[in-house]
Structure 1
Amino acid sequence: MSSLKKIKIIKPDDWHVHLRDKKILKKVLRYTEMFYQRAIIMPNLNKPITNCKRAIAYKHRILQATQINHTQFEPLMTCYLTKETSLKELKYGFLQKIFIGAKLYPNKCTTNSETGINKISEIFHILELMQKIKMPLLIHAEDNNVDVDIYDREANFLETTLIPLRKKFPELKIVLEHITTKEAVAYIEESNPLYLAGTITPHHLMLNRNNMFINGIQPNLYCLPILKRKKHQNALRQAISNGSMNFFLGSDSAPHIYRNKISLFGCAGIFNAPSSLLCYITIFEEMKALKYFESFCSKNGPNFYNLPINQNTITLIKKPCKILKKINLGKDSILPFLSGETLKWSIL
């Protein structure tokens, strides 16, 4: 194990965050802006962010919820793609820097994706424009066919949708978000990092599907894409340990009210914002790969999105940090990832 006691890195960005809205937004935002200078905000609200007007209004609500001592936080907005998405609206939003990219949700694949895409061919005209203007496409890369085993949906999406799609649009910039399989790792590693990258979450690095069923069912570990076999977890850990530019930080922090997590129809999502960066450094240390930690957290993402690398820094120290047990929300609460557990690293 490393004897390093302190590490200073360029302040990271989180390239995949769910902040929700209203009272949840006001409660959870502080944990993202504590660790990250920028964050890509997912558009799958109850009323999805499908146009510039909604994106501007949502960004305003986020900035209104920022803490006084974290005024440098920058939310990066995305457009929720539907087959009715206006080409004019999308192009305007990207060129005017309202949108950093557009998000593809297969229909009913995750939270608030009921208006997502059924067939990729429905949006070929949109993807043609995006390739032309170099607008990144962010994909929840899972097959939404209910006949496909839930543990195979990512690998199946690569085979049946992504590979043909990239042959048709070879210069479309694509981010496969929250990858979970060795197949995704291998495919991304073989690809040009100018056009294909993947984000990796802390929970898919730290856990595998066994963890969901130890000491009974653990509903707070239910997420989509679902936790996979240990061989896939190991592939993700190896991917971040070799210095590849194809992978970068995307926490997929996704808060849900506790009673909705444990209800009959438990919601998919893990709220990891209070611990995500501390989880990442823990894993990099375990993998003896701390020399690549800054690149994964702070450089690979901006380079892919053609954004400047941050100037601010953040310092992490080898000091125990106990993760808060819950966040109170009136009569409700939100349980963070690793609730009540202690990690070996803290923010200075």
Structure 2
Amino acid sequence: MTTLTLHSPLDMHLHLRQDAMLKAVAPLSAETFAGAVIMPNLVPPVDSLERLKWYREEILAAAGREDFAPYMTLFFRAYTREELEAAKPHIIGIKLYPAGITTNSEGGVSQIDQAEPTMRLMEELGIPLMIHGESNGFVMDREAEFLTIYRRLAERFPRLKIVMEHITTAAALVLLNEFENLHATVTVQHLIITLDDVAGGMLNPHLFCKPIAKRPEDREALAHAAVTAHPKLCLGTDSAPHPQHKKECCGCAAGVFTAPIALQLLAGLFDEHDALDRLQAFVSDNARRIYDVTPPAKAVTLAKKPFTIPASYGEVVPMWAGREIPWSVVGA
């Protein structure tokens, strides 16, 4: 039986929600990941040091494991130098959402120019900026339209570490290679599916997310970058749990839940490309270097052994529920 041991896997983009949902899903990430970058788009958002410290304690209590590190982020707003200096020891970065672009982003940035004074302070203080990079244009063009903003920010703030979150297009990879200060995360689903899987036949609400899955050539470009261990790219699952009734309804919530199956799916993808030896870099080593973090020690062993994805995890339906996949987690 083929086996693979990963050392301190990291999820560099994760939604844990709050209250009952937090308690339900945090243990599922903590079981197989040594740490995760936690998204701040709660209601109300995590936009103060006091609220951030409270949320971190809630996460640790829900996770129930000492070998899981929540890397905290603040929701982007206009911050003073004093606020950023106080927050810096407690955060891995600040997350910018364009206003209204995704779940709980109504309080996001409506005009990028107005955000630049805070970005200048972040550059001076060495605080990374993570961005949900979509415009409000036609849904398939939103990331492509936002690339001009990424370019402008990379040029205006050359010492600011900018992370293009959950990229979905081949064009984003081209831009990634142009600027030293640009980095990126990519989700499991965008390495595997296309828009055809979401809406080509019967609509599959459990594959609907923002940014939406794109064309086959985009998927192939992203998968190639991942399996060749592109040094500026790392895993960020964007695992986003919603109750089943909020997915299987009119007005379906955006988000794909992959946290408990991410490593198994990635092992299958990398195995298909004869690249299992590069999975460690994609799920851990690149992120450690990009963010200069030292995660808790954790060894996660996977085996090429069939695993049937559960129909649900509590009230949350995962990607590909009920499907048999070729890899399993056998030790963590």
Given the two structures, how large is their TM-score scaled by the length of structure 1? 0.92
Which of 57, 74, 77 is 1:60 aligned to? Answer: 57
Kindly state the Cα deviation for residue 214 of structure 1 after the two structures are TM-superposed.
Answer: 4.2
**Runs of 5+ unmatched residues, structure 1:** none
Which of 320, 323, 331 is 1:341 aligned to? Answer: 323
Q: Does 1:156 align with 2:145?
A: yes
Distance 2:150 2:109 in 1: 14
Kindly state the Cα deviation for residue 294 of structure 1 after the two structures are TM-superposed.
Answer: 0.5
Q: Does 1:313 align with 2:299?
A: yes
Match for 2:118: what amino acid?
I
Match for 2:96: what amino acid?
L
Kindly state the Cα deviation for residue 220 of structure 1 after the two structures are TM-superposed.
Answer: 1.3
Query: What is residue 173 of structure 1 aligned with on the other side?
Result: 161
Which of 28, 33, 36 is 1:36 aligned to? Answer: 33
Query: What is residue 73 of structure 1 aligned with on the other side?
Result: 68
Query: What is residue 131 of structure 2 aligned with on the other side?
Result: 139
SS at match of 1:78: strand
1:255-309 alpha-carbon deviations (Å, 9 max, x no partner): 0011111222111001111111111111111122222110111110011111126
Match for 1:152: what amino acid?
D
Kindly state the Cα deviation for residue 90 of structure 1 after the two structures are TM-superposed.
Answer: 2.1
Which of 278, 285, 301 is 2:264 aligned to? Answer: 278
Moved more, 308-317 or 289-298: 308-317
Distance 1:191 1:246 in 2: 10
Matches within 5 A, 1:228-307: 228-307=214-293
Kindly state the Cα deviation for residue 134 of structure 1 after the two structures are TM-superposed.
Answer: 1.1
Match for 2:263: what amino acid?
L
Q: Does 1:92 align with 2:86?
A: yes
Query: What is residue 8 of structure 2 aligned with on the other side?
Result: 11
RMSD: 1.3
Contact 2:303 2:327 in 1 (8 A): yes
Contact 1:51 1:90 in 2 (8 A): no
Change (3 A) 1:273 1:11: same
Given the two structures, how large is their TM-score scaled by the length of structure 2? 0.96
Distance 1:89 1:137 in 2: 16
Query: What is residue 174 of structure 2 aligned with on the other side?
Result: 186
Q: What number of residue pairs does the alignment pair up?
A: 330
Contact 1:11 1:313 in 2 (8 A): yes
1:117-148 alpha-carbon deviations (Å, 9 max, x no partner): 0111111111001111111101101113xxx2
Distance 1:295 1:270 in 2: 23
Distance 1:222 1:341 in 2: 18
Distance 1:287 1:173 in 2: 31
SS at match of 1:175: strand
Match for 1:154: what amino acid?
E
Kindly state the Cα deviation for residue 310 of structure 1 after the two structures are TM-superposed.
Answer: 4.9
Distance 1:163 1:116 in 2: 20
Distance 2:11 2:40 in 1: 15
Kindly state the Cα deviation for residue 189 of structure 1 after the two structures are TM-superposed.
Answer: 2.5
Distance 2:178 2:297 in 1: 31
